[in-house]
């Protein structure tokens, strides 16, 4: 700890850690530091100290329950060493059988922010209706208002569940788009070489 | 080489020969937007490679069909862009195509990354439940005066005023009573003044008396005269002879 003296002389953070632990056990979705601070009626800094204590206690190799930082908050999950046992008893319905079309649609919504079906179809070149419906049903995307024009199409955004399933601290944890794929110039060049090759 | 029509296809949206796909699209039973045209092209090219022999006629036929299919699909996907893209110079169109392909390429790469991520995170088991209850919003109240609250409560504690049930006790005398009374009166006198006759009765009785008067007039037993609105109503007996005369005239 950075400031052990002050913490020890004040209310010991152990008690707060127990409260935070209890809140996280009850929660079914990740809780943010703010939410924890409000529920525990304590300061954000002390909550983070308590979370530090808990992260050390609940970590891979030390406990069957692991505290992880995910989807903008903190949540308990099973330790990876118990994954096999978990898989015998539990299903993972959210990600089971996600098609390539669904993953492409998910990428568009995650990277470009709220997007409508026409926008998704425009990029993928194939109608997005069934992919969007499947993702909605799984809870990976949710409606996020409409396009600005009158009668605008419904837009979709990714949900905290998306970040949790993919183990992302936030959407900022997605790899930068520039690092992925070819640039327009490269593709242009390739198209050109294909065209020249064919006519030659 | 056989025709391109029996080219077997196995797409997301369709499985079967190429000509069935075309038929379904033309009959509008299959959305052209749902058809992965690239997969059809790949299937055709693969078949060409298997044959090891170029059938120009089949290739030409295929090109025409696939171009029509592409056009149908483009119209279905981008109905409002037709004009916009039509005006582009070939060079600009190529630029736009490359830009779009790059965008799609990046999304495909992103999807591949997500897919890998999914495999890597397969060992993370966690509880998934409904969203937690939203915290109750804090209601902000303006500063309140306890005396004002007491005054409001006092007003509420006061018993409400008694509702008058007087109208429920109203008794209506039968119309027949007035019919008989007026007939008896007219057997003694040829005419009488309605207002004077009912002046000593209460409002309800006056109303019933007036109904009786209307009944008698309807039956042709009396005639009514009134000089002006709200003037006294004069009631007179209709003579038997005049009554029959009247009946004869209007029958």
Distance from CA of A9 to the nearest CA of B (A): 32
Q: Considering the domain boundaries, does residue A157 fall inside one?
A: yes
What does each of the 200 residues of chain A score in pLDDT, given as a tens digit? Answer: 455 555 444 557 889 999 999 999 988 889 999 999 999 999 999 999 999 999 999 999 999 999 999 999 999 999 999 999 998 998 877 887 788 889 999 999 999 889 998 889 888 888 888 899 999 999 999 998 888 877 778 999 999 999 999 999 999 888 887 766 566 677 677 767 766 655 44
For the stretch A142-190, pLDDT in tens is 998 888 877 778 999 999 999 999 999 999 888 887 766 566 677 677 7
Query: How many distinct structural domains can be found in chain A?
Result: 2
Q: What is the ipTM of this complex?
A: 0.79
Indicate if A128 and A77 belong to the same structural domain: no
Contact B105 A187 (CB under 8 A): yes
Question: Which candidate, A107, A47, A111, places its Cα nearest to that of B108?
Answer: A107
Candidate from A28, A90, A181 with C-beta closest to B130:
A28
Tokens standing for residue A1? 């700890």
Q: List A residues 119-178 in contact with B (Cβ-Cβ < 8 A).
A: 121-127, 161, 164-167, 174-175, 177
Domain residue extents for chain B: 1-80, 172-250
Helix, strand or coil, per DSSP, at residue A150: coil
Chain B residues with CB-CB distance to A100 below 8 A? 111, 115
Domain coverage including residue A57:
4-89
Domain B172-250 has CATH 2.30.29.30: no
Report yes or no on A133 lying in a domain.
yes
The CATH number linked to A118 is: 1.10.10.10
The residue of B36, B116, B123, B130 whose CB has the most chain A CBs within 10 angstroms, and thus the best one to mutate to test that interface, is: B123
Looking at the domain assignment, is residue A116 inside a domain? yes
Same structural domain for residues A85 and A113?
no
Residues in B touching A77 (Cβ below 8 Å): 124-127
d(C-alpha A76, C-alpha A58), whole Å? 8
Residue A55: helix, strand or coil by DSSP? helix
Best of B114, B115, B119, B121 to substitute, by most chain A Cβ atoms within 10 angstroms, is: B114
Q: Average pLDDT, whole number, for chain A?
A: 85
Question: Mean pLDDT for each 10-residue chunk of chain B (251 residues)?
Answer: 73 82 82 84 85 80 85 77 65 78 86 91 83 64 85 89 79 86 88 88 88 91 87 83 55 49
Chain A residues in contact with B108 by the CB 8 A cut-off are 104, 107, 181
Distances (CA, A) of B29 to A98, A131, B13, B14, B207: 26, 19, 11, 11, 76
Domain boundary, last residue among A89, A108, A124:
A89
According to the 3-state scheme, what is the secondary structure of chain B? CCCHHHCEEECCCCEEEHHHHHHHHHCCCCCHHHCCHHHHHHHHHHHHHHHCCCCHHHHHHHHHHHHHHHHHHHHHHCHHHHHHHHCCCHHHHHHHHHHHHHHHHHHHHHHHHHHHHHHHCCCCCCCCCCCCCCCCCCCCCCCCCHHHHHHHHHHHHCCCCCCCCHHHHCCCCCHHHHHHHHHHHHHHCCEEEHHHHHCCCCHHHHHHHHHHHHHHHHCCCEEEEECCCCCCEEEEECCHHHHHHHHHHHC
Asked if the C-beta of A25 comes within 8 angstroms of chain B's C-beta atoms, the answer is no
Both A113 and A73 in one domain: the answer is no
């Amino acid at each position: 700890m950075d400031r052990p003296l002050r913490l020890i002389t004040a209310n010991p953070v152990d008690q707060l850690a127990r409260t935070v632990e209890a809140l996280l056990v009850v929660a079914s979705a990740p809780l943010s530091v703010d939410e924890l601070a409000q529920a525990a009626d304590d300061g954000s800094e002390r909550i983070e100290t308590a979370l530090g204590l808990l992260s050390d206690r609940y970590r891979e190799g030390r406990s069957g329950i692991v505290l992880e930082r995910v989807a903008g908050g903190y949540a308990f999950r099973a330790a990876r060493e118990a994954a096999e046992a978990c898989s015998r008893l539990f299903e993972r319905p959210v990600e089971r059988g996600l098609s390539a079309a669904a993953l492409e649609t998910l990428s568009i919504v995650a990277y470009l922010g709220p997007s409508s079906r026409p926008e998704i179809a425009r990029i993928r070149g194939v109608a997005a209706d069934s992919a969007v419906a499947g993702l909605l049903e799984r809870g990976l995307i949710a409606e996020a208002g409409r396009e600005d024009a009158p009668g605008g199409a419904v837009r979709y955004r990714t949900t905290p569940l998306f970040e949790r399933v993919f183990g992302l601290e936030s959407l900022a944890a997605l790899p930068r788009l520039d690092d992925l794929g070819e640039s327009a110039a490269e593709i242009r060049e390739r198209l050109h070489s294909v065209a020249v090759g064919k006519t030659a | 080489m056989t025709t391109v029509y029996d080219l077997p296809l196995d797409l997301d949206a369709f499985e079967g020969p190429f000509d069935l796909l075309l038929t379904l699209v033309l009959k509008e039973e299959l959305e052209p937007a749902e058809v992965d045209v690239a997969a059809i092209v790949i299937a055709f090219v693969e078949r060409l490679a298997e044959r090891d022999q170029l059938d120009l006629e089949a290739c030409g036929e295929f090109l025409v069909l696939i171009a029509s299919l592409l056009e149908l699909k483009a119209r279905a996907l981008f109905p409002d862009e037709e004009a916009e893209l039509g005006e582009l110079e070939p060079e600009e169109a190529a630029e736009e195509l490359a830009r779009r392909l790059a965008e799609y390429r990046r999304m495909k790469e992103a999807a591949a990354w997500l897919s890998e991520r999914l495999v890597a995170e397969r060992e993370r088991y966690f509880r998934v439940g409904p969203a937690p209850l939203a915290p109750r919003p804090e209601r902000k109240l303006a500063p309140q005066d306890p005396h004002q609250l007491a005054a409001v409560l006092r007003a509420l504690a006061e018993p409400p005023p008694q509702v008058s049930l007087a109208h429920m006790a109203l008794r209506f005398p039968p119309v027949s009573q007035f019919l008989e009374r007026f007939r008896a009166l007219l057997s003694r006198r040829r005419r009488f003044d309605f207002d004077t006759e009912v002046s000593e009765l209460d409002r309800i009785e006056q109303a019933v008396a007036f109904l009786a008067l209307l009944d008698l007039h309807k039956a042709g037993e009396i005639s009514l005269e009134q000089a002006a609105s709200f003037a006294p109503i004069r009631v007179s007996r209709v003579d038997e002879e005049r009554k029959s005369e009247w009946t004869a005239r209007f029958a």
